[in-house]
Structure 1
Amino acid sequence: MCNEITEADLDRAGLPVGRRSFTALAGAGALATMLPVNAMAGKAVKGRGVTIKTDDGTADAYFVAPAEGKHPGVLIWPDIRGLRPAFRQMADRLAGEGYAVLCVNPFYRWEKSPVVTATSDFNDPAVRDRLFGYLKQLTRAPVEVDARAHLAFLDAQAEVDTKRKLGTTGYCMGGAMTIYTAALKPDRVGAAASFHGGSVGTDKPDSPHLLIPKTNAGYLFAIADNDDKENPNEKVLLKAVLEPRKQWHEVEVYEGAMHGWCPPDGRAYNEAAAEKAWGRMLELFKAELA
């Protein structure tokens, strides 16, 4: 999980702060330089900023879908740096693959996105303390409040094919949120993908992984190498609940990939590993969102 240990790991690996800048992904044509060649060579898409009423307030989010037709819906839970240009562009890319995608601001109760900007460096202790303060309040109950509203929003959009299952993905803190989402609506959520997810499998009685048998989703758990070294039993716990199930599932430690390797604006971004994880996510969706 993203914490002081993770930052120390990145320091020891020699990865400089600001390796992929926030502002570099905000300008026109940024994907051509920040994401792999042909990463956006899919369907034409249309995106828009949206607001979603929840029981706790009004959440800001980004919705994008192919320009034509109806498609399976996907809910993206960002990492601790929240909804920002990199995640909008990741949502655009997924929409280009044929999905109607909602990427949300999990911190809307306290701030509108972006909560981390070019002038509020995540490596600033004050910024980190603020974000971790928000995260401590995002227990299962408020996440369920949000997931209920976000899934309802997706199902209400003309671009979403409600005859097909919904998917959800989560990065860092969003990993556990994907399980909570799948458990909240087991009749609607057919696929959940966690990338360097934090605390998805623990020895605590309220560990998120214990909810998996109550869901009907297929699962992908892509685990960072240094996260596995810190908690090697997590993959064992995940496999124990997944292997008896008939749904598509995969648990893999990405050797050499450090926590946070997927978002292209992250300090730990690893293109080869990120592309592999992206491909496995598409396989999960192909299998379970039919």
Structure 2
Amino acid sequence: MCDQDTVNENDAYLKRNPFQSSMNRRQFGKLTAGAAAAFMLPPLANAQDVVENDVMIETPDGTADCYFVHPANGSHAAVLMWPDILGLRPAFRTMGKRLAQSGYSVLVVNPFYRSAKSPVVEEGESFGDPETREKVMPMARALNAQTHVTDAHAFVDWLDQQSAVDTSRKIGTMGYCMGGPMVMRTAAAIPERIGAGGSFHGGGLVTDNADSPHLGIENMEAHMWIAIAENDDERDPQAKEVLMDTFEETGVMAEIEVFEGAMHGWCVIDSTVYNEAQAERAWNRMLGIFETAL
């Protein structure tokens, strides 16, 4: 979960791992200079040529600016990608494009479209900066279980109207940080279309609230992949137990793993705690699930 405790834990981790911190400072320097984030990702074998477009999608609450990228030829299974608390930005465009190069039609959304068009942060800005937190936290708090579901319906409906999407195949969805609950609610709200879902260091998957994301598991028909940061698990070790029990009780196929040495944010390429080896392992497992579930 993105909060001051997360900032403190990640700062402590970077102090213990100065090489990691040094690498990310160099990465941020390249990003700030305007270079594409793709330099940080390992090369992709057999990458397909893709077509990229900025698109505007009507929702019950307005018009969402999104990024749609898909293979240049044919129709393919769709994937709906929910960014972390810093929103749609070059890092997530790069991650979406990489997924499309693996053969998927990918919609990366701006979850904050009600408040501002993307990007809502400048390249190089970090959640660790107080000014950045002051900018994004109010936008994040303006979202809730209802907005997650109405947005999910709008985005899935839009995808199903695109010629690059094979509607005979199920849709995948993946989300990071605050995108984790959005993945859970998407899979629960549209089970007839969602065949696989992945939460990467998702925050708030299990709460005491009546609308806790885990309470929708009984409605899911997707193969779920829950990748948990080590420090998130240390703070709330019972969450994974509740998830495991609920998935088992409802018969929903799910895989849950705590990633040792991986801090909250480790999967996002412009994160200060990006961990390439562990991020690649989480990404490749998601690809494996997509291959069989979509």
**Which bin holds the TM-score, normalised by the shorter protein?**
over 0.9
The aligned amino acid for 1:2 is C
2:81 match:
76
Query: Any conservation in 1 of the 2:50–2:69 contact (CA below 8 Å)?
Result: yes
Deviations 1:195-224 (A, max 9, x none): 000011234332101101111111000000
Q: Which moved more, 1:10-19 or 1:78-87?
A: 10-19
The aligned amino acid for 1:10 is N
Distance 1:26 1:49 in 2: 22
Query: Any conservation in 1 of the 2:37–2:269 contact (CA below 8 Å)?
Result: no
Q: Residue 63 in 1 paired to residue 68 in 2?
A: yes
Distance 1:161 1:22 in 2: 39
Structure 1 residue 244 displacement after superposition: 4.0
2:6 match:
6
TM value normalised by structure 2: 0.92
Q: 1:241 to 1:276 in 2, by over 3 A?
A: same
In the alignment, which of 32, 41, 65 is matched to residue 35 of structure 1?
Answer: 41
Percent identity over the alignment is 49
1:195 match:
200
In the alignment, which of 279, 285, 288 is matched to residue 283 of structure 1?
Answer: 288
Q: Give aligned pairs, total.
A: 287
Query: Any conservation in 1 of the 2:227–2:256 contact (CA below 8 Å)?
Result: yes
> Which stretches in structure 1 are left out of the alignment for 5+ residues?
none
> Which stretches in structure 2 are left out of the alignment for 5+ residues?
none
Q: Secondary structure at the match of 1:272?
A: helix
Query: Any conservation in 1 of the 2:196–2:222 contact (CA below 8 Å)?
Result: yes
Deviations 1:102-132 (A, max 9, x none): 0000001111000011375533323202211
Query: Any conservation in 2 of the 1:25–1:34 contact (CA below 8 Å)?
Result: no
2:127 match:
122
Distance 2:160 2:230 in 1: 36
Query: Any conservation in 2 of the 1:25–1:85 contact (CA below 8 Å)?
Result: no
Distance 1:282 1:99 in 2: 10
Larger relative helix fraction: 2
The aligned amino acid for 1:146 is D
TM value normalised by structure 1: 0.93
Paired residues for 1:262-273 under 5 Å = 262-273=267-278
Distance 1:25 1:72 in 2: 34
Q: 1:29 to 1:140 in 2, by over 3 A?
A: closer
Distance 2:64 2:30 in 1: 23
Paired residues for 1:251-266 under 5 Å = 251-266=256-271
Paired residues for 1:10-29 under 5 Å = 10-13=10-13, 14=15, 16=21, 19=25, 20-21=27-28, 24=31, 27=34
Distance 2:124 2:80 in 1: 28
Distance 2:245 2:251 in 1: 13
Query: Any conservation in 2 of the 1:22–1:118 contact (CA below 8 Å)?
Result: no
Query: Any conservation in 1 of the 2:217–2:250 contact (CA below 8 Å)?
Result: no
Q: Secondary structure at the match of 2:123?
A: coil
1:169 match:
174
Distance 1:116 1:63 in 2: 20
1:242 match:
247
Q: Residue 131 in 1 paired to residue 143 in 2?
A: no
The aligned amino acid for 1:5 is D
RMSD, aligned α-carbons: 1.9
Query: Any conservation in 1 of the 2:69–2:105 contact (CA below 8 Å)?
Result: yes
Distance 2:33 2:149 in 1: 31
Q: Which moved more, 1:16-25 or 1:86-95?
A: 16-25
Q: Secondary structure at the match of 1:243?
A: helix
Q: 1:25 to 1:223 in 2, by over 3 A?
A: farther
